[in-house]
Every structure is written in structure tokens, then in C-alpha cells.
């Protein structure tokens, strides 16, 4: 059997070949169109069982098959798979766009909405029907026939442009390499990063070290490399990815045209045309039709309020950094490639610890069990690794875990942690299978379909040193990212809803979907959590000529500015309370700068889709420059081309929705404050955890997010906890 057509169990990744895609999709699309035609022509009164259910079943099969293809394209991108994906993307997009425009189906949903049966349906099914009616309107179902064809073409073009945007960004990231042969140029860079770079060079039959623009290689250089020229070279390459500016230095492929600038303009033009066709003034209004926020102005006011709170703190952060850089680092003019480096030096001086020191206590082998133990204690579940021999995985580094509740299997998730060529950057969660009630093989029987999720990150992989494989070490920021994505996964996996359309993350307002993920981040700052997920990866003196690592306060080192971290071996000792207290004291280090940066991106996104004219004289880059002049305190160099890598809004689902991160952070901080107020005196409180699981995670999209929040918190959300967590209050 074609593995893409086998829905009996877990995906058969080891069996999937590019040649399976075309026949599988051809069969599924043909079957679905036949089912839809039969439903459309059925003269019976539309009801859940004869109308909604068969359409749901058909579309789920297509979504599961295409989801596997999309996932592989994101984590194992190759020329052959990319070509097959892009070829069939238009066919899948066309099918869903046609479905959304189907007037007959739209009328049947309206009939069902007005029928007596509707009143007897569960609240989840009522929500699904109301969402369908909304989505039909947003999908162009009410357009006159002569405009539907154009609307359909817009959907196909936008889908293709988004894929091309991501392909260009991935290729631009993969193409740049920097070879360094002189060890004197690498002072300050952590040992494990250097070892990975050395092994990368070996694979390319090159001497010395090879660095790339992937996060595990790029970020440590920007943060730790003493070589300012090296930092500048990497920053220029990273900040001009997929732009009209040629990257400095050698690239693996000079032939490809990877400039995303024309794609940005075309995407904005098509979104504006789509909005006008639907009767909206701008695309931002289209986007907000499915969110908690109701108008663009409401979002602008929200962001403006946060910016007003954050700016004084950001100005203070920047002035402190400039004074420190000038007096201690002899950097009179702080350039973009100096900020991360100078900030880390300032953190070390002020709080007497470095991120590298913390990293020594965060090996993957301790972080994962500690994170699992936390959610097990909070929600009364168990997380159990699955023997790799029992399942098919797409890469040797991938792991599969089961989630059980009182011994019963309730969810599964894949964990793909490490960066590699062919895998798109960042971290994300996606659903592979959703929880719902389905018909079993025996007539009249039903069963609950166990949900399955993909959890993906781009962390450094384990390093082999002198023949010994050492576990991956994570920074605290990477641990926060892991908790964030796991929060998304739990939202999908712990649902108790039995109808697919609002099960798990489905049907949740986009500006509320980040609540469970950002909620999880808070636990990374709790002693009772962190102390149980740390184990010292002890430093041993390197035999190399580059010295030993200063991993503590500068006063405790030998004074060498060119020291490179040493090798490591685990001791099992948890992080000292003294070091944790320093981390906690530094929690809001430069929080003003960080918040203002996110607000800058959110304003840029919203303004692009609200009052920006893509056909006008102003470019998207010029709009961003204007917003930075108004909001930011740090202005990047003129050559910086951030829009060309802003995949969230041009290659993902966050268009006119990037503000959701800050919007949901208000919800998540306020929700977490209930744990802080626990009568038990500990944030790991089972009673509050079960309440969060039942009122937020379990209900999925079966009711409005605000209703769920109030059911958990006992009131509407307040901004106080967010400001307090970011150190922006007087108490």
C-alpha cells in the first residue's frame, strides 16, 4: 500500500518516497470530490451525520497525507521533495479554495444552522458550524460567479509565494559558509561550537573550522566571539539573507535567485486585492475576523500601550550597554554586530555569571526528563519514550513519546530537536493526527482517535569528542523555546474534545493559541523546576592550544580574553542555588529592549496589512525604517533586510497576527499568576494544574478563548502580571 494512504496507525516515514506523492494525492482528491459531489446533491435535510461527518472524514484523510508531505519538506528538504511539494501544493490549495467557495455547501450549512437539530447539538459542534459559516464567507462563497475564479487564483498564488519565500530563506541560510583556518581568530567561542565547526569542515574536506548561518553556529559567534570582524561578517550575511544584497564571502550556490523582495510586494498586493473582494478595507480586517481582537485600531492601541510602558526601560537598557561597551570593551560606537557580545559581557559583570556557565548545567539528558516530570506532576499524566525499533522515524535523531493518563494512551508526539541542513529554522509545533471520535471496524462501534504532534527545534546536536559522544548542552533560552513548543504540543494532545474542527489547537483564536506555550515558559524561572532538570557537564582541561574556558565571573579567570571553552563530562550535580539566584536577578536583563523589539515587528506586520499601499512609492523596508524611527531605540544598519526573512508573516500563518505573541503573553502571565498565588506555596500545584488542563487545554477551540480564560482565572485578563514578570512595575 502507498504509505501516504495508510491511516491505520502512525505515519510510515521510512517507507515514504517522492514517487508516492502524486498517486496518493490524485486518489484522495478524486475520492474527496466524489464525496463532496454526493453530499452536495443529496436532497435530504442536512444533518451532522449525513453532511458534516462524511465531509470531515474525507478532508481529514487528505490533511493527514498532505501533512506528512509538508512535514518532510520542512525537516528533510531536498530538491526532489521540494519540486514534488510545490507541484502538488497548488492542487491541494485549489481543492480547499474550491470547497470554501462552494455555494451549495454554504447553503446547506446555513440550513443546518437554522434547523431544529442544531439546538440539540453539543456546544463543540455548534461552534464548528458557526466557524464553517464564517470561513465560507472569508473563503469567497458569497462572491458572484465571475469573481470566484479570480479569488481562487489569488489563493493559489499566495500559497505558491509563501512556499517560495520559505525556500529562498532556507537556501540562503544553507548556502553561506565561512571557513576559518587561523585559531587565533576564534577566541571566546564555546568549545562545543568549535568542535561542531571542526567536524563540519572535515565533512567538506576543508581545514580548520566551518561556520554557517544556522542558529547553533551563528548565535554563539555573535554572543561570544572576541573577533569583531568575524561578528560583522556573520551579521551582514545573516541580516541580508534572501535579499538583493549579495552575501559576503563564499556561498555554496551562487546561481540561485533567492531575493524575497519582489515576493513581499506581490504577497501584499494579492492580500489587499483579496480583502477588497471580500468587502473589507484591508487584509488586517480579514485576519482579525478569526481572532480575539476585533479591529486593527484595537491592536494598535494595545501595542502602543505596551510600547509606552517598555520604552523607558529600553532607553535605560541601551544607555547602560553603551556606557559599559565604551568603558570596559573600548567600543565607542556600538554596532549591530556588537550588541549580543557586549550584552553578554555586561551580564557577566553585573550578575557574575554567563550563559555558557548556565549551559553546563543543562544537558539534554537532564532537561527532557525534568520537563516531563513537571507536566506529569501538574497534570497527572505520564510521558513514556517509545522504542525506536517499534516505529518509523524520518531521521535517526528523532524520538517518539507516548502520553498516558492512568495507564491509558491519550497522546503521542515526535521530538526533533537538532538543527541540520535541509531543516527550516526556528521552533514549531504541528499536528499530525487530531483527537476525535471515529467509527471502528465493527459496525456501530466507535473509538477515540489518539492525537499525534510534531515538536521541532533547531538546537545544537550532541558532540563527539575524542570518540566519546557528549549530550547536547542547551542554553537557558533554548530551554525556554523547548518549553514553549511543548506547551503548544500539550494544547493539542491533552484535549478532551471529540470533534475534529475544535479539537486541540483547531478552532482556537490565533491570538490566543500562544497562551499555553508562553504559559509553559514561566516554569523555566522556578527553582523547584530548574533544580530538578539540571546536571553539571563538568569542564576538563583541553589539550588544545587555545586555552581553557572562563565559565565564571571574570575575576575568577586567568584574565585571558582569547579563552575557548574546554571539553566536558557529566557529574550529575544540579545547578547551585547561588547561580540560579543570579539568573533570577538577571531575568529582566534588557527586557525593555526585548519587548520593544517584538512590538516593532508586530507594528510592522499590522501596518503592512492595514494602511500600507504595496503599489505606492514606499517599500516595505521603508515602512519598517519609519516604524523603527518612531518606536525603536536601536536602529539596525541600512543594509539590514529583516523583512526578507520574516517568514512568520510571508511564509507562515501570522499575517496581521504577529501581535498575537504579546496579546497572548498578557493571558499567559495572568494565568500563571494563579499558580504563583497557590495556597500550597509552590507553583507545581496539582489542583491548579488540573484546573488549567480542564479549562484551557482540554476544551481546545470548543468555546471562545476568553470564556476559557475566565473559567480558569475567575475574571477577565489583566496586564499587571505581564508587566511584573518583565520588571516594568514599581513592586
Q: Which residues are catalytic?
A: 485
Backbone angles phi, psi at 480, to 5 degrees: -60, -40
Q: How far apart are CA 568 and CA 433, in angstroms?
A: 40
The rounded distance, in Å, linking the Cα atoms of 697 and 503 is 10
Cα angle 289-292-298, degrees, rounded to a multiple of 5: 85
Residue whose C-alpha is closest to residue 503's, from 512, 514, 495, 511: 495
Contact 284, 274 (CB under 8 A): no
DSSP string across 423-492 = S-SS-EEEEEE--EEEE-SSTT-EEEEPPEEEEEEEEPPPEEETTEEEPPB--HHHHHHHHHHHHHHHHH
Distance CA 518, CA 679 (A): 23
Torsion of CA 241, 215, 387, 1, to 10 degrees: 0
β-bridge mates for residue 212, sequence order = 177
Say which residue the cell 542558529 belongs to: 215
Tell me whether residue 521 is exposed, middle or buried, using C-beta atoms within 10 angstroms of its C-beta: 0 to 12, 13 to 18, 19 or more. Answer: buried
Backbone φ and ψ for 288, nearest 5 degrees, come out as -75, -10
Strand partners of residue 416: 456
Handedness of CA 135, 138, 142, 146 (dihedral sign): negative
Sheet with strand 399-405: strands edge to edge = 382-385, 399-405, 408-418, 452-459, 428-433
The three cell numbers locating residue 586: 538577571
| CB-count burial class (<10 Å; 0-12, 13-18, 19+) for 173 | buried
Taking the CA atoms of residue 648, residue 649, residue 654 and residue 655 in that order, the dihedral angle to the nearest 10 degrees is 180
Phi-psi label, residue 348: left if phi above 0, alpha if psi -120 to 50, beta otherwise: alpha
**Residue that the C-alpha cell 535605560 belongs to:** 316
Amino acid at each position: 500500500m502507498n504509505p501516504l494512504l495508510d491511516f491505520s496507525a502512525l505515519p510510515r516515514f521510512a517507507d515514504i518516497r517522492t514517487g508516492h506523492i502524486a498517486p496518493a494525492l490524485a486518489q484522495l482528491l478524486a475520492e474527496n470530490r466524489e464525496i463532496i459531489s454526493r453530499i452536495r446533491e443529496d436532497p435530504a435535510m442536512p444533518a451532522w451525520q449525513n453532511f458534516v461527518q462524511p465531509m470531515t472524514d474525507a478532508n481529514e484523510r487528505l490533511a493527514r497525507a498532505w501533512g506528512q508531505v509538508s512535514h518532510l519538506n520542512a525537516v528533510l528538504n531536498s530538491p526532489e521533495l521540494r519540486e514534488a511539494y510545490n507541484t502538488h501544493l497548488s492542487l491541494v490549495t485549489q481543492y480547499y479554495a474550491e470547497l470554501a467557495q462552494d455555494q451549495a455547501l454554504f447553503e446547506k450549512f446555513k440550513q443546518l444552522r437554522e434547523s431544529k437539530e442544531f439546538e440539540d447539538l453539543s456546544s463543540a459542534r455548534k461552534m464548528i458550524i458557526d466557524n464553517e459559516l464564517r470561513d465560507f464567507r472569508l473563503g469567497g462563497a458569497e462572491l458572484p460567479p465571475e469573481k470566484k475564479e479570480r479569488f481562487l487564483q489569488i489563493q493559489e498564488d499566495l500559497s505558491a509565494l509563501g512556499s517560495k519565500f520559505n525556500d529562498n530563506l532556507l537556501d540562503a541560510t544553507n548556502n553561506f559558509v565561512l571557513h576559518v583556518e587561523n585559531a587565533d581568530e576564534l577566541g571566546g567561542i564555546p568549545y562545543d561550537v568549535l568542535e561542531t565547526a571542526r567536524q563540519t569542515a572535515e565533512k567538506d574536506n576543508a581545514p580548520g573550522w566551518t561556520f554557517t548561518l544556522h542558529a547553533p553556529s551563528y548565535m554563539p559567534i555573535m554572543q561570544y566571539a572576541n573577533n569583531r570582524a568575524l561578528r560583522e561578517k556573520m551579521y551582514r550575511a545573516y541580516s541580508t539573507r534572501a535579499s538583493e544584497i549579495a552575501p559576503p564571502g563564499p556561498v555554496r550556490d551562487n546561481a540561485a535567485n533567492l531575493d524575497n523582495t519582489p515576493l513581499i510586494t506581490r504577497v501584499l498586493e494579492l492580500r489587499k486585492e483579496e480583502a477588497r473582494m471580500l468587502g473589507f478595507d484591508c487584509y488586517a480586517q480579514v485576519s482579525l475576523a478569526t481572532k480575539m481582537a476585533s479591529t486593527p485600531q484595537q491592536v494598535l492601541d494595545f501595542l502602543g500601550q505596551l510600547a509606552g510602558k517598555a520604552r523607558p526601560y529600553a532607553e535605560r537598557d541601551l544607555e547602560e550597554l553603551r556606557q559599559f561597551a565604551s568603558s570596559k570593551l573600548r567600543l565607542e560606537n556600538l554596532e549591530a554586530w556588537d550588541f549580543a557580545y557586549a550584552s553578554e559581557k555586561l551580564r557577566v559583570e553585573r550578575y557574575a555569571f554567563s550563559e555558557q556557565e548556565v549551559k553546563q548545567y543543562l544537558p539534554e539528558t537532564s532537561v527532557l526528563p525534568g520537563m516531563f516530570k513537571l507536566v506529569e506532576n501538574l497534570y497527572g499524566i505520564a510521558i513514556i519514550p517509545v522504542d525506536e525499533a517499534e516505529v518509523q522515524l524520518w531521521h535517526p535523531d528523532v524520538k517518539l513519546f507516548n502520553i498516558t493518563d492512568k495507564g491509558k494512551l491519550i497522546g503521542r508526539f515526535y521530538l526533533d530537536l537538532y538543527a541540520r541542513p535541509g531543516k527550516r529554522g526556528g521552533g514549531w509545533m504541528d499536528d499530525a493526527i487530531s483527537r476525535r471520535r471515529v467509527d471502528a471496524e465493527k459496525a456501530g462501534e466507535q473509538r477515540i482517535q489518539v492525537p499525534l504532534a510534531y515538536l521541532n527545534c533547531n538546537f545544537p546536536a550532541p558532540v563527539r569528542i575524542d570518540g566519546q559522544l557528549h549530550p547536547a548542552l542547551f542554553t537557558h533560552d533554548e530551554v525556554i523555546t523547548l518549553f514553549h513548543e511543548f506547551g503548544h504540543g500539550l494544547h493539542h494532545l491533552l484535549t478532551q474534545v471529540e470533534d475534529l474542527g475544535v479539537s486541540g489547537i483547531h478552532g482556537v483564536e490565533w491570538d490566543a493559541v500562544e497562551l499555553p506555550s508562553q504559559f509553559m515558559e514561566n516554569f523555566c524561572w522556578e527553582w523547584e523546576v530548574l533544580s530538578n532538570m539540571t546536571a553539571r557537564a563538568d569542564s576538563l582541561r583541553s589539550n588544545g592550544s587555545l586555552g581553557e574556558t572562563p565559565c565564571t565571573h571574570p575575576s575568577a579567570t586567568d584574565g585571558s580574553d582569547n579563552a575557548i571553552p574546554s571539553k566536558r563530562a557529566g557529574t550529575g550535580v544540579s545547578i547551585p542555588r547561588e547561580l540560579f539566584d543570579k539568573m533570577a536577578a538577571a531575568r529582566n536583563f534588557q527586557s525593555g529592549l526585548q519587548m520593544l523589539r517584538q512590538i516593532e515587528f508586530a507594528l510592522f506586520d499590522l501596518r503592512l496589512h492595514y494602511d500600507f499601499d504595496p503599489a505606492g512609492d514606499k517599500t516595505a523596508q521603508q515602512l519598517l525604517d519609519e516604524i523603527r524611527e518612531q518606536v525603536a531605540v536601536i536602529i539596525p544598519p541600512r543594509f539590514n533586510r529583516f523583512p526578507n526573512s520574516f517568514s512568520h508573516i510571508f511564509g507562515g500563518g501570522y499575517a496581521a497576527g504577529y501581535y498575537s505573541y504579546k496579546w497572548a503573553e498578557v493571558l499567559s502571565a495572568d494565568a500563571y499568576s494563579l499558580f504563583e498565588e497557590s495556597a500550597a506555596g509552590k507553583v507545581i500545584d496539582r489542583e491548579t494544574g488540573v484546573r488549567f488542563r480542564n479549562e484551557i487545554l482540554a476544551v481546545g477551540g470548543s468555546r471562545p478563548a476568553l470564556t476559557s480564560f475566565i473559567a480558569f482565572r475567575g475574571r477577565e485578563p489583566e496586564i499587571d502580571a505581564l508587566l511584573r514578570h518583565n520588571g516594568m512595575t514599581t513592586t
